[in-house]
């Protein structure tokens, strides 16, 4: 049973590449996890393809999170963990976001569950999601200034 | 924290503020309800009253130090949080664990699942007006906490699962203690079911309440008992086995009604399955054997070795001053917590402190479904729906 899970996750990257050669910037395999790096402009289309193609069928968006690689540019890396429940498979879509234009397409039209996950990233990293219907702070108070999970935000003391 | 915009804005509706200090919101959840008489027009959850910045704090700790913070995310499932974090860091390090340590982990996590479901059942029954069930549930939970205390020295925030294994050898007499609990528990679950399952008030409050279709639940990223009560057999222990779960024989209970009553039945059935797993794990744990992986420089050496070997002393000093540095990379691990898919994403930049630690809290994501569950229902059903989503605000707000 273990061997079955995630057996052909690598194929997903190749499938995306045949769908649109520009859609896959890089396929990373590390510790048994497949990460497909997608350019920001094609993120929503690629996600839609992963979800709606019958034999890929990534129906569950498990998680959205961001990594801040300050001071490296592009500093933000958005990671989307996709799960295909019928096919027992996990992949990660990744896209890079720069500090000058921290704006990316929302995946809410593809998975409505992206709503709060993206709001959390917006709240803590200050990345805006276009097409999100309810982009408000979720964990911090409305009047809070700054994005605390950015690496240049201090853990202790005043900013 | 949030200014509410009413959906219809007619004179017919009123806005009611439920929480954050409302007993049935299980902590500090605030829900803004727009009501038309007794019917809910819109419900807007408002979070963040318990936000403690655990993910940010983790970035300022070494990998081992961060374990104590993970306990405090989902305070009804501290061992599960330890487990998912340790699995993620172990994946980054490429560590292989001895089987005995894995079985001990499985046993502890399944005991934790029972204790979490007991708290859920007790508090939910309390919300529905059945007070005695809570007292029974907490009585049995106390027995589990006593087991934890013997194993880890702590009842709740155990930090028992560590990177590369578990903290301590099982204590003397643990087998009898766990066995006594296993022998007692099935009859106690029968007792709860006798009080509730066919109870007309209980059925009347839960049946047909909080329905959402399986498609909607998946679209909203819901996982855990809520999704299994809609007929989707999604359990990480079976789908993506970790910690040797593939060796255990257990079923994943599912229902198809997808209402609050089905979620109750799924959780009760899960408790019985967990008992099966604990019993199997107990039989597999040998009396003697390693509880930690062999990895000098990452796992603290044994006390005895430190007195005779210089390397052990050096490693000990380095681990507790500088920490260890996993190679640069990322790892995401998902386990099945009592509430659903608990994920942990750890990114390393090759330094002794994590670049990023992120927890995918099932309570947080599952709570998204609340507005859809309660739309058009009665105000009293909001309490039932919040209850059967089984949120822990520590995890929602982190």
The structure's pTM equals 0.91
Residue A2: pLDDT band (50, 70, 90) is very low
Q: Which residue of B has its CA nearest to A152?
A: B56
pLDDT digits (tens, 9 = 90+) for A3-22: 445 566 678 878 888 888 88
Look at residue B36 and give its three-state secondary structure. strand
**Per-residue pLDDT, B210:** 87
- Chain A hits for B7, CB-CB cut-off 8 Å, are none
pLDDT digits (tens, 9 = 90+) for A81-121: 999 988 888 899 999 999 888 999 999 999 998 999 999 99
**Per-residue pLDDT, B48:** 87
Does B347 touch chain A if contact means CB atoms closer than 8 Å?
yes
Q: Which residue of A has its CA nearest to B221?
A: A113
Could you give the dihedral angle defined by the CA atoms of residues B238, B239, B245 and B249, in that order, rounded to the nearest 10 degrees?
Answer: 20
C-alpha–C-alpha distance, residues A98 and A104, integer Å: 10
The β-bridge relationship of strands A103-105 and A128-130 is parallel
Of A77, A76, A17, the closest CA to residue A50 belongs to A17
Phi then psi dihedrals of residue B394, to 5 deg = -60, -35
Q: How many angstroms separate the CA of residue B230 from the nearest CA in chain A?
A: 14
Which of the residues B356, B362, B367 would you substitute to probe the A interface, choosing the one with the greatest number of A C-beta atoms within 10 Å? B356
Structure token digits, residue A12: 């997903």
Could you say which of A2, A63, A116 has the minimum Cβ distance to residue B368? A116
C-alpha separations of A84 from A24, A63, B175, B242, B361 in Å:
19, 13, 39, 18, 19
The β-bridge relationship of strands B30-36 and B161-162 is unpaired
B392 burial class (0-12, 13-18, 19+ CB within 10 angstroms)? buried
**Per-residue pLDDT, B1:** 45
The β-bridge relationship of strands B14-18 and A60-68 is unpaired
pLDDT digits (tens, 9 = 90+) for B96-109: 899 999 999 999 99
- Chain B hits for A142, CB-CB cut-off 8 Å, are 1-3
C-alpha–C-alpha distance, residues B224 and B111, integer Å: 17
What integer best gives the mean pLDDT of chain A?
Answer: 85
List all residues 6 or more positions away from A1 whose beta carbon is below 8 Å from its beta carbon.
Answer: B238, B241, B246
Contact between residue B152 and residue B145 where contact means Cβ atoms under 8 Å apart = no
Give B 236-295 residues with CB within 8 A of chain A: 238-241, 246
Q: What parts of chain B have a pLDDT lower than 70?
A: 1-11
Which of the residues B329, B332, B366, B398 would you substitute to probe the A interface, choosing the one with the greatest number of A C-beta atoms within 10 Å? B332
**Per-residue pLDDT, B222:** 92
- Chain A hits for B232, CB-CB cut-off 8 Å, are 85
List all residues 6 or more positions away from A17 whose beta carbon is below 8 Å from its beta carbon.
Answer: A23, A24
**Per-residue pLDDT, A70:** 85
The β-bridge relationship of strands B356-360 and A26-30 is unpaired
Give the full edge-to-edge strand order of the sheet including A89-97.
Answer: A26-30, A33-37, A89-97, A76-84, A60-68
- Chain A hits for B235, CB-CB cut-off 8 Å, are none
Residue A155 has pLDDT above 90, yes or no: no
- Chain B hits for A92, CB-CB cut-off 8 Å, are 332
In a 13 Å sphere around the CA of B150, the CA atoms on its Cβ side amount to 15
Q: How many angstroms separate the CA of residue A101 from the nearest CA in chain B?
A: 22
Contact between residue A72 and residue A96 where contact means Cβ atoms under 8 Å apart = no
Contact between residue A88 and residue B376 where contact means Cβ atoms under 8 Å apart = no
Region of residue A46 (left: phi > 0; alpha: psi -120 to 50; beta: else)? alpha
Of A121, A106, A21, A1, the closest CA to residue A68 belongs to A121
3-state DSSP helix/strand/coil % of chain A, to nearest 5: 25, 25, 50
Contact A65 B358 (CB under 8 A): yes
In eight-state DSSP terms, residue B234 is: -
**Per-residue pLDDT, A29:** 83
Look-up of token digits 């498979």: A89
Could you say which of A5, A90, A113 has the minimum Cβ distance to residue B365? A113
Phi then psi dihedrals of residue B342, to 5 deg = -100, 115
**Per-residue pLDDT, B105:** 93
Phi then psi dihedrals of residue A33, to 5 deg = -110, 140
Contact A113 B368 (CB under 8 A): yes
- A&B contacts, CB < 8 Å: 117
- The enclosing H or E element of A91 equals strand A89-97
Residue A1 has pLDDT above 50, yes or no: no
Contact between residue B293 and residue B95 where contact means Cβ atoms under 8 Å apart = yes
- The enclosing H or E element of A83 equals strand A76-84
Instruction: Give CA angle at B392 (B390, B396), nearest 5°.
Output: 110
Q: Which runs of consecutive H residues, i.e. helices, occur in B16-75? A: 54-58, 67-70
- Chain A hits for B87, CB-CB cut-off 8 Å, are none
Which of the residues B358, B394, B395 would you substitute to probe the A interface, choosing the one with the greatest number of A C-beta atoms within 10 Å? B358
**Per-residue pLDDT, A31:** 85
Contact between residue B227 and residue B389 where contact means Cβ atoms under 8 Å apart = no
Structure token digits, residue B78: 């501290």
Tell me: ipTM over 0.85.
yes
Region of residue B46 (left: phi > 0; alpha: psi -120 to 50; beta: else)? beta
**Across chain A, how many H-helices and E-strands are there?**
3, 7
C-alpha separations of A104 from A96, A107, B264, B265, B291 in Å:
9, 9, 40, 42, 45
- Chain A hits for B347, CB-CB cut-off 8 Å, are 67
**Per-residue pLDDT, B188:** 92
């Amino acid at each position: 049973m273990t061997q079955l899970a995630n057996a052909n996750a690598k194929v997903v990257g190749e499938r995306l590449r045949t769908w649109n050669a520009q859609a896959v910037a890089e396929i990373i395999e590390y510790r048994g996890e497949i990460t497909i790096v997608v350019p920001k402009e094609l993120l929503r289309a690629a996600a839609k393809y992963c979800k709606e193609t019958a034999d890929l069928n990534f129906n569950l968006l498990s998680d959205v999170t961001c990594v801040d690689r300050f001071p490296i540019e592009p500093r933000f890396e958005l990671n989307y963990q996709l799960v295909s429940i019928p096919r027992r498979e996990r992949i990660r879509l990744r896209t890079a976001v720069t500090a000058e234009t921290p704006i990316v397409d929302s995946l809410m039209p593809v998975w409505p569950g992206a709503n709060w996950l993206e709001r959390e990233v917006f709240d803590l990293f200050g990345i805006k999601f276009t097409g999100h219907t309810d982009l408000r702070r979720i964990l911090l108070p409305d009047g809070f200034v700054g994005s605390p999970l950015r690496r240049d935000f201090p853990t202790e003391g005043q900013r | 924290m949030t200014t509410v915009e009413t959906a219809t804005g007619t004179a017919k509706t009123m806005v009611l503020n439920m929480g954050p200090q409302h007993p049935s919101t299980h902590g500090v959840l605030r829900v803004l309800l727009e009501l038309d008489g007794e019917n809910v027009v819109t419900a807007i959850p408002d979070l963040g009253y318990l936000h403690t910045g655990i993910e940010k704090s983790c970035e300022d700790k070494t990998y081992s130090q961060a374990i104590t913070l993970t306990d405090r995310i989902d305070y009804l499932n501290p061992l599960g949080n330890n487990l998912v974090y340790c699995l993620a860091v172990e994946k980054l390090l490429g560590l292989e664990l001895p089987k005995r340590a894995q079985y001990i982990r499985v046993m502890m996590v399944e005991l934790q699942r029972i204790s979490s479901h007991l708290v859920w059942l007790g508090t939910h029954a309390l919300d529905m007006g059945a007070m005695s069930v809570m007292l029974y549930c907490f009585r049995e939970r106390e027995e589990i906490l006593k087991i934890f205390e013997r194993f880890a020295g702590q009842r709740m925030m155990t930090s028992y699962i560590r990177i590369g294994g578990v903290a301590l050898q099982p204590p003397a007499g643990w087998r009898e203690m766990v066995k006594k609990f296993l022998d007692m528990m099935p009859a106690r679950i029968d007792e709860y079911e006798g009080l509730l399952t066919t109870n007309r008030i209980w059925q009347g409050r839960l049946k047909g309440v909080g329905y959402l279709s399986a498609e909607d639940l998946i679209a909203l990223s819901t996982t855990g008992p809520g999704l299994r009560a809609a007929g989707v057999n999604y359990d990480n222990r079976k789908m993506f086995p970790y910690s040797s779960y593939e060796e255990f024989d257990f079923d994943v209970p599912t229902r198809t009604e997808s209402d609050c009553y089905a979620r109750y039945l799924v959780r009760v059935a899960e408790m019985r399955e967990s008992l099966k797993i604990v019993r199997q794990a107990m039989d597999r744990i040998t009396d003697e054997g390693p509880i930690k992986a062999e990895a000098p420089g990452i796992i603290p050496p044994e006390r005895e070795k430190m007195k005779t070997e210089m390397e052990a002393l050096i490693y000990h000093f380095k681990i507790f001053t500088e920490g260890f540095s996993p190679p640069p990379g990322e790892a995401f691990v998902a386990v099945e917590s009592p509430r659903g898919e608990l994920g942990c994403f750890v990114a390393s930049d090759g330094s002794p402190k994590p670049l990023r630690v992120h927890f995918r809290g099932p309570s947080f994501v599952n709570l998204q479904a609340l507005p859809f569950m309660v739309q058009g229902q009665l105000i009293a059903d909001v309490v039932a729906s919040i209850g059967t989503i089984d949120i822990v605000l520590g995890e929602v707000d982190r």
